[in-house]
Amino acid sequence: GARMTVEMKVKGLMWDPVSRMPIVILRTQEGESVLPIFVGLFEANAIAQQLDGSLSPRPMTHDLLGNLIDALHGRVDRVVITDLRDNTFFAIIHLERNGEKLAIDARPSDAMALALRVKVPIFVEDAVLARSSASGEEGQVDEAERLRRWLETVDPEELGRYEM
């Protein structure tokens, strides 16, 4: 069957109190689905910069990607978070260049930072949302579930600014 995707927006960044890792919070327009994605500190910083609209003195990875694509006369169409396996998310950057469509593998953190920078939509495949909200294995999935439940109750205003 056709793979269904849903558009999600980066709502903010926060610390996971348990793992002490930064989490990017994605949310659908209507807010009925929330997807927490753990990212590295460096990537979280890049995303925070995009959200703040602050510029770094030198191009960061996502700036470089954007500049490269631009220089090669390509255009980012959208990014899609395509899979969740063993607590690892997978993403694809969809590009267009001279009428040719390209799909490039990426880590979600890089894909999201790029999407924010070049202002293109972020989509998530339905299967990822379904898998993220289903708990099966012990440990980490329960962790994601715990987080998701907490996020559903938290006031969006409380998703504090991200502080490095």
- For residue 164, what pLDDT is reported? 36
Q: Closest by alpha carbon to 114, among 42, 60, 37?
A: 60
- For residue 157, what pLDDT is reported? 58
One-letter amino acid identity for 18? V
- For residue 152, what pLDDT is reported? 65
- For residue 31, what pLDDT is reported? 81
8 Å CB contact between 109 and 44: yes
One-letter amino acid identity for 91? A
> Consecutive sets of 10 residues in the chain, 164 residues long: mean pLDDT of each?
86 86 91 89 89 85 94 97 91 97 96 95 93 58 65 60 44
8 Å CB contact between 25 and 13: yes
- For residue 37, what pLDDT is reported? 92
- For residue 18, what pLDDT is reported? 84
One-letter amino acid identity for 133? S
pTM over 0.95: no
One-letter amino acid identity for 13? L
